[in-house]
Each structure stands twice: as structure tokens, then as C-alpha cells.
Amino acid sequence: MADKGKYPNPREEDIYAGDRRVSRPDSALPDWHIPDAKYRPIPIAWFAAAFLIQLLLLTMVFVVLAGQSGWITIAVSSLITGALGMWTWERGMKDAGTGWKVATILVLVGQLAFVCLGASTRL
């Protein structure tokens, strides 16, 4: 009865929650945690960031430059797309699978094509 309120010391013994070990004396980490694993970001995060940032920036450029020549809109949009593509590649897309690379290029070029199509009425 005296041991009922005693908590185990994680520095001296394993601590269990049911049949799962939640801490052990040599690392104090749960048994399902892999401490020597490294962070590996996923390409969908780079893809989504490129897609959303380009969507926002090209929309802003199209609206702000609505009264200007279509060539200015196309040139600025192309520069933004190129810079965003380079930034996405340097973030890690260059090491991603071929499918992610192709999808990213298609999305960036596709959105730029829509802006060029819309700006073509002002050429």
C-alpha cells in the first residue's frame, strides 16, 4: 500500500502505459520514437507552396497592371514564374521524383499561360 502513490523514476527504470513502454532510462524517449531519423520534407509541400504563391502573385500582377500594355503583364508574370520556379527547385524539388518535377513545371507554366491569355487582349 505504501508504493501505491510512488511514481517510477524514468532515470532508473522503464515506464509502461499498459503494454507500451513510454520511457526508458537510457534515453527517456518513447519506444516508438526514432531519435536518429532525419527530417525529410515532402515534395507536395514545395509543389503546393509554388502553386499558391504563384496564384497569388500573378493575380495581383494581372489586377494591378490591368490598365497597362499586355506585354508588361506578360513580362512581369514571366519573371515572377521563373524566380518562383528557381526558388522551388533550390528548396529541394531538384531531389524530388520525376512526377513531382513534371507536375510542378506544368502547373507553373499552366498558370502563366492563363495570365498570358488574359493579357493578350491588351497587346
CA nearest neighbour of 110 among 50, 60, 70, 33: 50
Query: Which pLDDT value is given to residue 46?
Result: 95
Exposed, middle or buried: residue 46 (CB in 10 Å: 0-12, 13-18, 19+)?
buried
Name the more confident of 103 and 23. Answer: 103
Over residues 60-83, the pLDDT tens digits come to 999 999 999 999 999 999 999 999
CB of 41 within 8 A of CB of 92?
yes
Per-domain boundaries in the chain: 43-122
pLDDT digits (tens, 9 = 90+) for 30-52: 556 665 556 667 899 999 999 99
Q: Do 104 and 44 form a contact (C-beta atoms < 8 A)?
A: no
Q: Mean pLDDT across the stretch 1-29?
A: 62
